[in-house]
Every structure is written in C-alpha cells, then in structure tokens.
Amino acid sequence: MKKCYLFSFALFILAACAKPAKDKALIVKWTDSIISQNTNYHSNELVRKEVSKEVDKYVDNSIKENAPILEGVTFRISKIIEDKDSCVVIFDATTCYSDVKKDNDRHLITDIIIRVLGKVDNEMAAKLDEDATYYVSGIVHEWDKEDRFFASKSSIDYIDLGTFILNSDIKIKKVENE
C-alpha cells in the first residue's frame, strides 16, 4: 500500500512539473492549412504563385490593424539602427515553420519568414537584449512584401510574409522561460 502511495505521489509530481504542449501560432496554423491544400507547393512553380497570392490577401487584411498574424510568434533582434532620438529595430521570427504530414509518413516542412520593423525610443532600445527572444505586436502601418530593407534570410522551402512595419506603437515583450 505504501508503494502505491509513493507511486501515485511520483506521478502527481511529474504531472505538475510537465510543461503543457505549446499551441501553434495563428500564422503557423494558417500556413499548415495552405500547404495541406497544396501539397505540391515545394515542387510546382504555378502552385507557389497561387499560394503567394493567398499570402498577399491574408497579409493585406492585417494592414492598419493590430496584427493577429504576429501573435504567438517569437522574434530575435536582427539589427538595431540608431537615429537622433529613437532607434529602428528589425526583428526576425525564430523557429517559425509549418510541418504538414503528407502521405507515406513524409513531412512537408516549410519555413515561415516574418520580419518586423519598429521604431522605439533610445531608452527602450537600451533595454533590448540581442540574445533574447521577444513577442512583438502593434498596429501594422505598412507591409514591405518586396523586402526593400534586405532583411530576409531565406531557405529553399519557405513562405516569405515580408516585413511588417510598426511605428512607435510597437509593443515588445521578452519571452520568459523558453
């Protein structure tokens, strides 16, 4: 009987300490859906063009809005550019990818490239840590689909969502315990 209590106690402790599975970010769920519908995305140029049009429509709906497309995505600082009384910070999404199981237990892995460019005051910029990860949110004032800032670091199989330009209303929250 004593062993049963110890075993139950041990299971209780393990359950209490286990981390719950992290829910996928909205953009990952959306990309999973698009790739599931277009399983030849990686191997067919025409399909890539059609998916690109879907990306454009999806992202266009985020302009002038508080961007739910960024929710749940973690970012690292790519570059901080100093100005007179403020700084421009460029963030790159970290470990943001779609993983769709195809037939024959094959997985279609697709990198999701998202950048955020935001303006912060010098005091806020001084608090940022380039080795940390952050959640970034705010109203999308513009969208740079063409990557005019040359911030992209793309791989072979990817969906590039461009750069979301947020102004001084940017909200940056350091990711804790990750």
Write out pLDDT tens, residues 4-42: 443 444 333 334 344 444 688 889 999 999 999 988 888
Task: State yes or no: pLDDT of 163 exceeds 90.
Answer: no
Residue 1, pLDDT score:
52
Q: Helices marked H in the chain — which ranges?
A: 2-17, 26-37, 45-60, 122-127
State the residue for tokens 């300490």.
17
Residue 22, pLDDT score:
63
Whether 91 contacts 133, CB under 8 Å = no
Joined tokens for residue 106: 């094959």
Mean pLDDT score across all residues of the chain: 80
Task: State yes or no: pLDDT of 126 exceeds 90.
Answer: yes
Mean pLDDT of 136-149: 79
Residue 127, pLDDT score:
94
Write out pLDDT tens, residues 59-103: 888 788 777 888 999 999 999 999 888 999 999 999 888 888 877
141 versus 8: the higher-pLDDT residue is 141
Q: Nearest-5° angle of CA 117, CA 68, CA 59?
A: 70
